[in-house]
Amino acid sequence: MTEPSKEAAPKPASPPQATGAPEPGKGKTPEAVNLGRRRLVLACVWGYLGVNFLMFLRYFFPRTLFEPETQFNIGYPSDFEIGVNQRFLQSHRIWVRKDPGTLFVIHAKCTHLGCTPDWEPMQNIFHCPCHGSEYDIDGINFAGPAPRPMDRCWIAKQADGTILCNKATLFINEPFAGVDQFNDPHAILSI
């Protein structure tokens, strides 16, 4: 009688040993996940604080428009030629208008909607590019929608002979309202 053959029984698979290293194909360990989360939270907190700090610093630089002084000296009458002088157009938005014996300052602002007209020396007129108003060499409107002549600025001769101009005080000529301030002694100077 033959004895039954003793075949080796299959060994049960041993459970995987915890090594602390991520297993291939099975993601990260809880420690690594927690570390990643901690870094993300810290990055958010520092980012939030950093943005708020920059906003705080921004308060020290107010959004202010620095406009030129409304009162300024334009120099001697002899500094200007007869006609229209554009020397202060860019810096102060005025034209100095000089004739033999008189001088006045025109505020370069169209009386329709406030655009800056162009001086056209070939035609001796001011032409507003916005809606086509036209003014003669003295700033008196004669065409287009402008309702009145361009305003004139306050001027005064100083003790040293120079001329002080103040744009904060304007003289107007409003024919329909019966107002004419162009002959005020500070609207036109005898030179």
CB of 149 to ligand FES, least distance (A): 13
Selected binder of ligand FES within 146, 150, 165, 187 (CB under 6 A)? 146
Q: Is 61 exposed, middle or buried (0-12, 13-18, 19+ CB in 10 A)?
A: exposed
Selected binder of ligand FES within 40, 43, 113, 179 (CB under 6 A)? 113
* Number of residues lying near ligand FES (CB under 6 A): 13
Contact call for residue 128 and ligand FES (CB under 6 A)? yes
Q: Which two tokens stand for residue 175?
A: 């024919």
Selected binder of ligand FES within 72, 75, 77, 115 (CB under 6 A)? 115
Query: 127 or 186: whose CB is closer to ligand FES?
Result: 127
Amino acid at position 6, single letter: K
Q: What is the DSSP secondary structure assignment for residue 27, as one 8-state letter? A: -
Point out which span in 52-60, 93-101, 144-152, 171-179 binds ligand FES (CB under 6 A).
Answer: 144-152
Write the CB contacts of 144 (distance below 8 Å, at least 6 apart in sequence). 112, 128, 131, 132, 133, 134
